[in-house]
Structure 1
Amino acid sequence: MAEIHADGGPLPPIPDDLTIPQFLLDSHHPARPVLRKPQPWIVEELSGREVGSDELRARTFGLANALKMRWNIGEDDVGTFMLPVSLIYLRALTATRAFHRSGHIRAQPHWYAHPRWIHPSPEQLIHVPHADYPVAIWAVHRLGGIITGANPTYTADELTYQLSATKARVLIAHPAALSVALEAARGAGIPAERVVLFNDDAGVAEPRARGHVTIEQLVAEGLEQTQRFVERRLGPGEGKRKLAFLSFSSGTTGRPKAVMIPHYSVIANVVQLAHWTKAKDESRPLEMQRYKPGSRSLAVLPFYHIYGLVVVLHFSLFIGTTLVVVQKFNFEQFLHSIQRYRITHLWQVPSIVPHKSNAGKRADALKYDISSIRMLMSGAAPLSSELINQLSALLPDAWIGQAYGMTETCTAVTFPQVDRRLGTPGSGGVLLPGCTARVVRPDGSLAAPGEPGELVVTGPSMALGYMNNPQATAETFKDGWVVTGDEVYFNDRKEIFVVDRIKELIKVRGFQVPPAELEGHLLGHPDVGDVCVVGIPDEYSGELPFAFVVPSAAAQARIDANPAAADEVRKAIMKHVADHKTSYKHLVGVEFIDAIPKNPSGKLLRRFLRDRAKTLRESGKLTISVRAKL
């Protein structure tokens, strides 16, 4: 099979001399729709406050001015954002079918291994993307700085690593995350006065948050002064080198790596998406105009994740979609907001937050009208054919599809088809214009249609490599191509199907978990002699981390003397991870083994143990503890 070239070309010109805010706020692009009437760019979900383009420009200027005046933030300085966040999940939406049928929203048995409630109680409200997040991004970019978004569930040690690796000079956090932010800032040598707080819209700030400057205060301060910074204009081609984001991607070994994403890559992906979706084409039949200006999207995916950052935030605003930014989430509020704001677009991931509650008694959810949804897209992990069918029955007027991308490709390289409501079941869409793919067999030759192999892809949005990691860069980035480590195949319609990951990375609800990171941590526990961590399949999380452990001599002696001690050792090992790692990295089980299988060079034979875990689980001999984790 020859290389697979995307249809839909050629692409419109992609500017290589603009920063992201210059592209989005200060210029017009041929692929961008023209709004026929003013509309808000952002709406705060609970208050209904509308923020238009002029206010966003002003707030961006004010914050940039204040950052320059206070701390002289400038060229290539790094700012870090940390916000508590929750994800809205597809299966939470599909559960409304059960709602309408019986007044209950308990998950159907074939969705999960165990019955779970998926309606969070009022005590479980979780904070999500903040309306000033894009303002903070663009302000740092106006100054020539770089953004690195931090996962809000990180422990202080994990955040310290990211701050130190990127040499961050300022940390902007939500008040609810202040304790972790301050501890990490100390560890990275960032003064406490440079820990800036987003405004506390939900009243969960710690008392000591009152002593920290807020975004609102900085904006006001900057707007009171004349411009103190000079925004640099990029030279021709400089946008392809000028860094905009350091987005952390775990890769397959060691600690997370900072993917270097230039301004051009984000702009290119936005142009690709706008061109493919025909957002500007008003000549098409109305029912085919699925991405037209005036659409409304519920912004619930985290902006620190590349999917939420590029597709949800920048692409949506570019094509004239209003983002309703959620400040806290529960399922009933989710339904209410769809109805209240007549939400048309949902960007999702195929997982769920399961909660036990009294949701089954809440028949009042029957009143919510979600018929406004006309497009639902899933990414970050494969969406099953079964779930697509359930969603299609729930939303008969909505177009439903999947996309594929990576941090290393600066998001999407495939996207749902635009000529039919549902793609082929299981497909991850088709290549975006400008992208070319190879499916490579183990011997290096190209695979035939329908034959699996490793996906290697190129296009205008590819990242530059990993910061300060030439070895990992050389392994993944080859002459403009990205070696994905994913096993895929394409059918005759150029639709992609993701089969498995060739690389050893574990992906939990779209979050990357490198086994080597957990193995290195576990080897520091006195009860662990040797260890291998594998991902085991899970319906709603994709995969879950599971450890095969060779007990240390001392631990084995305790187990031999008292077999009941084995459970205590397992719990201690799992607690060792839970105490030091973010929740999606927590182990769901430990299996003792006599020896870890390795090849003659000492490399772990991880696939062998992954297959063994699968066999044990299918036979009922392997029990895991599945918990809802954020």
Structure 2
Amino acid sequence: MEFHPQQPAPFVPDDLTVPQFIFDGTHESRPDRRPAIPWLVEDATGRKIFEDELRNRTHGLANAISTKYKIVEDDVVLLFSRNHVDYPVAIWAVHKLGGVISGANPDFTTNELLYQLQETKASLLIVHPDALPIAREAARAADLSPERIVLFDVEGTSAHVREQHETVSSLIAFGLRNKTHYTERKLAPGEGRTKLAFLSFSSGTTGRPKAVAIQHYALIANVLQVAVHNGVNTNYCAREDQRYRPGDIAIEVLPFYHIYGLVINLHFILFCAMSLVVIPKYNFEEMLKSIVRHRISHLYLVPPHVVLLCKHPAVRNYDLRAHIRVIMCGAAPLSHELNEQLFAMFPGAHIGQAYGMTETCTATTMWALAQKRGVSGGSGVLLPGVVARVVKADGALAGYDEPGELVVKTPSVALGYSNNVQATKETFIGGWVKTGDEVRIRRDGEIIVMDRLKEIMKVKGFQVAPAELEGCLLDHDAVSDVCVVGVPDDYRGEVPLAFVVLTAAARARTAGDAARQDALKAELVAHVAAHKVGYKHLAGGVEFIDAIPTSPSGKLLRRVLRERAKALVRRRGAAAAKL
């Protein structure tokens, strides 16, 4: 059967770019922002940034990169940075020119950044100074001139570095003092449905990260879906108990380059006439201080944050209950136990989970508005406009409480994977998106995520494709074959563990010698660490195996090794408990 939402899809304008929607868009779900409510707050300094300043900076930067770098229609600008108050300014400036934004993890290695540069064909890099050495190496390998590397302004950046590269502020000053060089990109009716806005990377169902092509309409649609679902700008209950109110204050510890941080934590919060405190680099104890210092009312988190919130001893030093009204957790399922702890810690707060993907431009489910507390272990109900199917292993449609793969159709669906027809065909099918997650849907509409059918792991909320790590390990001369699986981890959700088949030479060299085997395992872990960002490291370790199990047709039986890995982790835990 098909499962339908409790509310219809909202009206979504299809002739607006993202900055036009954010600055000037009107909608019945959009509350008025009082002049005294800032849009952004800089965490370290407390500096408040209001609409006029954001408009001016966006215009100035658009004018400057149009003039100096000739950024035009469909050019890609890659943002390689931690959170910064000018990050959204950079997004909106590029969109004003008809360009496309691709956000990259600032902890990427040179090879990872180079891959994204080459996949997107980016013509300009805007970089956090901390990431400049990697950016320079990757740009050199991609034949991108160092003159096309621009820096976000960060206190403490050396004068020498600033002399070598333009900064966002220097460009804005240039753009504001010179004649307007560009014409803002306006969309024809319906064009927002196809006009590319972002290339956001996701691992899809298999293989290396893929560039998800997200149009302006998709982001706008998801913001409006979430707003309608949460009763924004309606008096559905007493004001003191409403989830989202103008003037509330949210925290942005989620990275802007991640789809959750980009859509829900940035654009949705600004749409709600709330203030957003921008945290450049996440540190748990510093986050606690920020909550109290800025009187933050709304937390947007992933499971590792919740683990610390429930278990870290420093929490008792801060009066968080006095401020926090809403806690949302997404990117990966939260356990029943952690849910219950969170409920007990914040008895008066709205707390729940959401579920989504980069391919659906974020959320497709969220905990119901009628429930102050989401169902423990549940991912919420379908957002307005989202239709779902649960497909059983035999291809038949499941009914209530029957498990199967979740397949969804939503107004916020992306266009597909850029320059990857085959992967697009496998995931985007006739307007539907295969999620790769096994779920069941209860009669009350609550969606319970049971398991991951696809191979992708979720580590601290980030997608990790086993094939990417397997390819890295196969580059090592001691590895003949390999299979990487995710194993449960209390803090990170999952961590990668590699089952490795050694070459004949490596087997001979280490046979019967536990010390040499351990040294080689450590060498393989270090090999991955040298080539991949931190969350992709083999935190689950390496296990040697005689052969990788396959089906009669030759298909790798990853599930067999996943079960073996889980048993291995249980044995490790039992052994540690005896010590």
TM-score normalized by the length of structure 1: 0.88
Q: Would the alpha carbon gap of residues 432 and 441 (structure 1) be closer, same or farther in structure 2, given more than 3 Å must change?
A: same
CA distance in 2 between partners of 1:517 and 1:403 (Å): 27
Say whether residues 1:442 and 2:393 are aligned partners: yes
Tell me: higher relative CO, structure 1 or 2? Use CA pairs within 8 A at least 6 residues apart. Answer: 1
CA distance in 1 between partners of 2:281 and 2:473 (Å): 35
CA distance in 1 between partners of 2:299 and 2:390 (Å): 31
Are 1:617 and 1:623, in contact at CA under 8 Å, matched by a contact in 2?
no
Are 1:294 and 1:320, in contact at CA under 8 Å, matched by a contact in 2?
yes
Partner of residue 579, structure 1: 530
Partner of residue 348, structure 1: 301
Partner of residue 336, structure 1: 289
Unaligned runs of 5+ in 1: 85-128, 625-630
Are 1:274 and 1:315, in contact at CA under 8 Å, matched by a contact in 2?
yes
Partner of residue 492, structure 2: 541
CA distance in 1 between partners of 2:352 and 2:265 (Å): 15
CA distance in 2 between partners of 1:421 and 1:26 (Å): 32
Say whether residues 1:604 and 2:577 are aligned partners: no
Partner of residue 364, structure 2: 413
Partner of residue 333, structure 2: 382
CA distance in 2 between partners of 1:582 and 1:288 (Å): 41
Partner of residue 94, structure 1: none
Are 1:574 and 1:587, in contact at CA under 8 Å, matched by a contact in 2?
yes
CA distance in 2 between partners of 1:191 and 1:430 (Å): 48
CA distance in 1 between partners of 2:170 and 2:413 (Å): 37
CA distance in 1 between partners of 2:283 and 2:304 (Å): 15
Matches within 5 A, 1:218-257: 218-257=171-210
Say whether residues 1:513 and 2:464 are aligned partners: yes
User: What amino acid maps onto 2:505 in structure 1?
Assistant: A
User: What amino acid maps onto 1:465 in structure 2?
Assistant: G
Deviating 4+ runs (over 6 angstroms): 621-624
Say whether residues 1:616 and 2:568 are aligned partners: yes
Residues 273-317 of structure 1: CA deviation (Å, up to 9, x unaligned)? 111111101352224311111110011100100000000000000
Say whether residues 1:3 and 2:10 are aligned partners: no
CA distance in 2 between partners of 1:298 and 1:419 (Å): 24
Partner of residue 106, structure 1: none
The DSSP-based 3-state class of the residue aligned with 1:138 is: helix
Deviation at 1:136, TM superposition (A): 0.2
**Alignment partner for residue 377 of structure 2, among 426, 439, 461?**
426
Are 2:204 and 2:427, in contact at CA under 8 Å, matched by a contact in 1?
no
Deviation at 1:204, TM superposition (A): 5.9
The DSSP-based 3-state class of the residue aligned with 2:445 is: coil
Matched residues, number:
572
CA distance in 2 between partners of 1:367 and 1:278 (Å): 31
Deviation at 1:580, TM superposition (A): 0.7
Deviation at 1:334, TM superposition (A): 2.0
User: What amino acid maps onto 2:130 in structure 1?
Assistant: A
Are 2:248 and 2:275, in contact at CA under 8 Å, matched by a contact in 1?
yes
Deviation at 1:133, TM superposition (A): 0.5
Partner of residue 485, structure 1: 436
Are 2:205 and 2:427, in contact at CA under 8 Å, matched by a contact in 1?
no
Are 1:43 and 1:50, in contact at CA under 8 Å, matched by a contact in 2?
yes
CA distance in 1 between partners of 2:333 and 2:535 (Å): 18
Matches within 5 A, 1:79-158: 79-84=77-82, 129-158=83-112
CA distance in 1 between partners of 2:90 and 2:273 (Å): 20
The DSSP-based 3-state class of the residue aligned with 1:149 is: strand
Partner of residue 77, structure 1: 75
Matches within 5 A, 1:14-413: 14-84=12-82, 129-201=83-155, 203=156, 208-282=161-235, 284-352=237-305, 366=317, 368-413=319-364
CA distance in 2 between partners of 1:301 and 1:209 (Å): 28
The DSSP-based 3-state class of the residue aligned with 1:79 is: strand
RMSD (CA atoms): 1.9
Deviation at 1:448, TM superposition (A): 2.0
Residues 350-402 of structure 1: CA deviation (Å, up to 9, x unaligned)? 114999xxx96x79x63545421110000000011111111112111111000
CA distance in 2 between partners of 1:52 and 1:370 (Å): 28
User: What amino acid maps onto 2:495 in structure 1?
Assistant: L
Are 1:403 and 1:415, in contact at CA under 8 Å, matched by a contact in 2?
yes
CA distance in 2 between partners of 1:132 and 1:177 (Å): 16
CA distance in 1 between partners of 2:428 and 2:514 (Å): 49
The DSSP-based 3-state class of the residue aligned with 1:403 is: strand
Deviation at 1:161, TM superposition (A): 0.7
Partner of residue 116, structure 1: none
User: What amino acid maps onto 2:174 in structure 1?
Assistant: E
Deviation at 1:556, TM superposition (A): 0.6
Deviation at 1:614, TM superposition (A): 1.3
The DSSP-based 3-state class of the residue aligned with 2:303 is: coil
Are 2:466 and 2:484, in contact at CA under 8 Å, matched by a contact in 1?
yes
Deviation at 1:208, TM superposition (A): 3.2
Q: Which has the higher mean CA deviation after the structures are superposed, 250-259 or 410-419?
A: 250-259
CA distance in 1 between partners of 2:67 and 2:46 (Å): 32
CA distance in 2 between partners of 1:284 and 1:440 (Å): 37
TM-score normalized by the length of structure 2: 0.95
CA distance in 2 between partners of 1:255 and 1:219 (Å): 36
Are 2:202 and 2:210, in contact at CA under 8 Å, matched by a contact in 1?
yes
